[in-house]
Structure 1
């Protein structure tokens, strides 16, 4: 059995992953609030945890792994969009979920086993809140129900801060009906025209944090193996999930392992609309970036490090994929390279896994490369596209091969090989491979070939 090691955000240590039940490995990942297109930052956890899902299926068997990722379809942002557009909320959420599926499918992400919508689990949320109130961990006030944070002694363990430190260092909503500034909303009243459900505390809707706790419990049980999401969710969302779940279920420990991916930058800067560097996955696809390219760039940086999207990285990714697909387009897949399994088993070292693809290409092992690319999720695109792109690149290099052959023929007569050497240096500097035999001259692209550099060196 392969040994998987993961860095647990709760313990801050890399630990051997030991599922509660190897016959049923369970993972929950926080999904999107469905009111608009998913941006590139939203896509990073999808791709990261898709790779983990693939690894778990490989190690434990596809039937032994349950992956849950939710849709938050009740939220003030959704209500605001409905009010602004005059459209029905369900129409907006259905459309947005469709967009999300299309975009994540384009990135090669497998669909989770379950994709629960929050509105389908309102009854479970109300039941959990009732239990928390009965145990003294929550209280009703002015149509709201709030979680009593200080009733849970371990609050703050995930983020590593005490409650008093959080109050001192954070902007906390202080409502007059709160017993403590850190207490958070489990249920809130809904005014006319806003979605709501009848409850013991009046007509209202759930707070954000209770949604994931209720859905995780219903689909995975009191205790499960892995909970994942972006680092921005660690506090307060995940901290609150732990508190309310641990208090609701006396015998459960909620998630055993917590994994958080770091944030995304664009050309070295935080992505924001004010900087003009904010874009959705659909924007990139519309600009002509294939989904495989986006996936390759996202996986080129370890999930626990900030990921910087750059146009140069995208160009490099496309060049690599052109060569890989060209080699594998006409072959049957063999076995997944064990070096990739080993890399991913070491805290999801996706950058190392991608480097194995380069090695397989260099080794000329097309069948293993094909299987390994499939395993890593590079399966959804049009392979013919990549073959044609590779042919186009090779066609651009043909004149240089001819020029090099002519220079060598002239050098054989003059015994002056300076022009030959200069051409070779130029081509190699641009990432091309020069093969010269007695009867032929070939100039081939490598994964590092950059036609922009070639033009600049002319």
Structure 2
């Protein structure tokens, strides 16, 4: 039985979707005023991995992730660049989509923009006014947080202990207008030439929290299975979403709240943040590191744990990706001389590893144990590929399971042909290994090349090679 850790209850719960066979997921997307950093990408990759596992288990997934394309940061970026908020949004949404493509994040996502849903946002706020949860002060509309009886339950915070300004984006003017310091803005009165829309309260724009409540309920319904995002969004953003959504609909907003951990930078595991100036944009990162490596690094750390980003973690991901690719190529090569039929013993070993993978992933998407099973499958595949006799059906079973399980982590395979420079580099490495009396590595390189159709011949004049393909 698949279990999910629910932030609201702080325990693992059996997953039972609202609609049998379907999963509704809403994941908070970026504010598109700049290139996304690897912390933003971590959330996108974590929930894409979760989404892919749901699909592997046979569920239809309805996935929505928004773009916040109007707020103070957007307005400031437009002003600083002497352009419009929409132009800023268009530029960085395009960049975001390019980054997601490089990280192999699924395209099958509804990506609504806040500015495309202004009418629905206004209607939502008016409904909260009618319910007595919202009040207007000179064109600014606020939510009465204390009126919502379980406010603070998601973040496990006592309302009476909340400090002034806990709802973020607070200034002295707002504080003076509020009935209670913990109230938060639903609609903001426009200032000067800021981007604005007509509303019953005058010209203004939406507050941050209301956007996600509107887009989630519009595209997925009043109640959804999963709401995800970074753990920094638990309070106040998701707390406020829950309060305003349930106040309007009188229904449970989310069954399972899921939150991913942060990214830490360097050997000291310092938390990455823009305030510390130690953030890395995906746009820049992909100039130096292949997207598949970044994807494997991010998708194989449990979503609730922090990701350690440093040279060592990148090198480990590169090495592990190569192992998987080599196993795929070794299996593909042996198909050319495989005999018909199958090997029952190997088939059973494959199915056992797949069962271990499923057990791991069913436990709150334990990707670290899950990917360990995939590496074990690759190891078994390599051993089988070196057998003198191999069976076609067993090779196909290996390939099918290796591809399907790896795809959950966003990894796809392709056949590669070794060029002469790569072969010579491996021969040089083998020669050095023999000098160092590292005969295990020497034999590994010989077998690796053999499985790729390259035969080595050691002669008094040195090592020669020929390609059998």
* Equivalent runs, 1:49-448 vs 2, <5 Å: 49-61=47-59, 64-167=60-163, 170=166, 173=170, 175-250=175-250, 252-267=251-266, 268-272=269-273, 277-287=278-288, 289-329=289-329, 337-364=354-381, 366-367=398-399, 368-379=401-412, 384=416, 394-403=426-435, 423-424=437-438, 433=441, 435=443, 442=446
Conserved 8 A contact 1:159-1:234: yes
Match of 1:60, SS state, is coil
TM-score by length of 1: 0.83
Q: How far apart, CA to CA, are the structure 1 residues paired with 2:40 and 2:421?
A: 29
Q: How far apart, CA to CA, are the structure 2 residues paired with 1:56 and 1:386?
A: 36
Conserved 8 A contact 2:121-2:214: yes
Conserved 8 A contact 1:321-1:386: no
Q: How far apart, CA to CA, are the structure 2 residues paired with 1:207 and 1:386?
A: 55
Conserved 8 A contact 2:7-2:259: yes
Q: How far apart, CA to CA, are the structure 2 residues paired with 1:7 and 1:278?
A: 28
TM-score by length of 2: 0.81
Match of 2:177, SS state, is coil
Conserved 8 A contact 1:124-1:214: yes
Deviation at 1:237, TM superposition (A): 0.1
Q: How far apart, CA to CA, are the structure 1 residues paired with 2:103 and 2:425?
A: 24
The residue number in structure 1 matching 2:25 is 27
Q: How far apart, CA to CA, are the structure 2 residues paired with 1:220 and 1:270?
A: 33
Conserved 8 A contact 1:297-1:317: yes
Q: How far apart, CA to CA, are the structure 1 residues paired with 2:428 and 2:117?
A: 57
Conserved 8 A contact 1:40-1:279: yes
> Which one of the candidate residues 6, 22, 26 is aligned to 1:8?
6
Deviation at 1:191, TM superposition (A): 2.2
Closer, same or farther: CA 24–179 of 1 in aligned 2, 3 Å: same
Q: After superposition, give the CA deviation of every residue in 1:44-65 in whole Å (9 maximum; x if it has no partner).
A: 111110011111122234xx22
Deviation at 1:81, TM superposition (A): 1.0
Match of 1:176, SS state, is helix
Closer, same or farther: CA 348–73 of 1 in aligned 2, 3 Å: same
Root mean square deviation of aligned Cα: 2.8
Q: For structure 1, which segment, 350-359 or 28-37, has the greater mean C-alpha deviation from structure 2 after superposition?
A: 350-359
Unaligned runs of 5+ in 2: 336-349, 383-397, 450-469
Conserved 8 A contact 1:43-1:281: yes
Deviation at 1:131, TM superposition (A): 0.6
Q: How far apart, CA to CA, are the structure 1 residues paired with 2:102 and 2:403?
A: 19
Match of 2:416, SS state, is helix
